Structure 1
Amino acid sequence: MALKKPKYKDLIFLVIVALFFIPQTRKPIQIFVNKGLALISPSTINSEKQKAIPSYNLILKDENGTIFNFETTKGKIVLVNFWATWCPPCIAEMTSMQKLYKDYKDKVTFVFVSDESFNVVNPFLEKNNYTFKVYQPVTNYNNIFKVSSIPKTFLINQKGNVIIEKTGAANWNSNSVRNTINSLLATKNKI
Structure 2
Amino acid sequence: MNITKKQWSNIIFFSVLALIIFTPVGTFVKVQLGKLYVLVSNPTTIEEENRETISDFNWNLVDGQGESVNFKEMEGEVILVNFWATWCPPCIAEMPNLNALHTDYKDKIRFVFVANDNEKRVNAYLKKNEYDLPVYYTKGNEPKELSSPSIPTTYLIDDQGNIVMKELGSADWNSSNVRNQIDELLAFSLAE
The answer to whether the 8 Å contact 2:62/2:139 transfers is: yes
Residue 22 of structure 1: CA displacement?
5.5
Equivalent residue of 1:186, what SS? Answer: helix
Q: Which residue is equivalent to 2:25?
A: 25
Determine the C-alpha separation between the residues in 2 that align with 1:157 and 1:84: 25
Contact 2:42 2:177 in 1 (8 A): yes
1:74, 1:158 within 8 Å by CA — same for their partners in 2? yes
Structure 1 or 2: more helix by fraction: 2
Q: Which amino acid aligns with 1:75?
A: G
Give the deviation of 1:60 after TM superposition.
0.4
Q: Where does structure 1 differ by over 4 angstroms across 4 or more consecutive aligned residues?
A: 13-19
- Give the aligned partner of residue 181 of structure 1: 182
Worse-matched range after superposition: 102-111 or 144-153? 144-153
Structure 1 residue 110: Cα displacement: 0.1
Residue aligning to 2:89: 88
1:36-63 per-position Cα deviation (integer Å, ceiling 9, x unaligned): 1111211110111011012101010023
* Percent of residue pairs identical: 40
Q: How does 1:1-80 map to 2 (within 5 A)?
A: 14=13, 17=17, 19-21=19-21, 23-39=23-39, 40-80=41-81
Q: Does the Cα contact within 8 Å between 1:56 and 1:144 map onto a contact in 2?
A: no
Unaligned residue ranges in structure 1 (runs of 5+): none
How many angstroms apart in 2 are the aligned matches of 1:90 and 1:37? 12
SS in structure 2 of the partner of residue 141 of structure 1: coil
Q: Secondary structure at 1:38's aligned position in 2? A: helix
The 1:20–1:51 alpha-carbon spacing in structure 2 relative to 1, beyond 3 Å, is same
For residue 101 of structure 1, what is the aligned residue in structure 2? 102
Aligned-pair CA distance for 1:134:
0.5
Aligned partner of 2:142 in structure 1 is: 141
1:132-186: CA deviations, max 9, x gaps? 1111111112634112010000000011000111111100000000000000011
In structure 2, list runs of 5 or more residues that go unmatched: none
Give me the TM-score of the superposition, normalised by structure 1.
Answer: 0.89
* Pairs aligned (count): 182
1:45–1:164 CA contact under 8 A, matched in 2: yes
Calculate the TM-score normalised by the size of structure 2: 0.88
SS of 2:48 mapped into structure 1: coil
